[in-house]
Amino acid sequence: MTLRALDRVEELLLGGLLAAMTLLTFLQVVLRYVFNSGLVWALEATVYLFGWLVLLGISNGVRTGSHLAVDVITKHLSPRAQKIVALAAAALSLLYVALMLVGGWTLVQRLYAFGNLAHDIPLPRWILLSSLPIGFALLGLRIVQAAVGIARGTVPPAGHGAGDEPSRLVAAERGE
């Protein structure tokens, strides 16, 4: 799978997860307040969908450069120092991702070994919580992509025009 295809799959998943959460919540509200009924599994399903949405959304935010950046100190540094700080931040972020990836993978392995099912959804919990290793693996890839772009000078360090990146990506996709 190419990175372009991965980008597209990521965007489709994010849109699908958000739509599923919205529709499920709307259906639950209608069932509860109009028909005095409800779906027992809806809240748990929404929580798992939200977990997937957040973990995939983090990597998408890194890819598009749409995360908030605090540049109070770095904006006063030279361009070379800004690049060094940004690369150091990427390295520390990768360390965090590695820790979370190992922890998430360990959790999923243990849940698989125990064979636990979710409380209200007839699915194994390891499938539902595989969002942790998948999300952090994808985040690691996106941080490496950003670090390579910063090192090559094709991506500005965060807080220095990086917020314009989403509009540049959209323009590039349209061929502008």
pTM, entire model: 0.81
What is the span of the domain harbouring residue 119? 3-174
Question: When comparing pLDDT for 65 and 18, which is higher?
Answer: 18
* Domain count for the chain: 1
pLDDT in tens, 111-136: 999 998 999 999 999 999 999 999 99
Q: Which amino acid is at 98?
A: A
Compute the distance between CA of residue 43 and CA of residue 110 in angstroms, rounded to an integer.
Answer: 24
pLDDT in tens, 52-93: 999 999 999 888 877 777 777 778 888 888 889 889 999 999
Q: Strand, helix or coil at 161?
A: coil
Q: Which amino acid is at 45?
A: A
CB-based burial label for 119 (10 Å; 0-12, 13-18, 19+): exposed
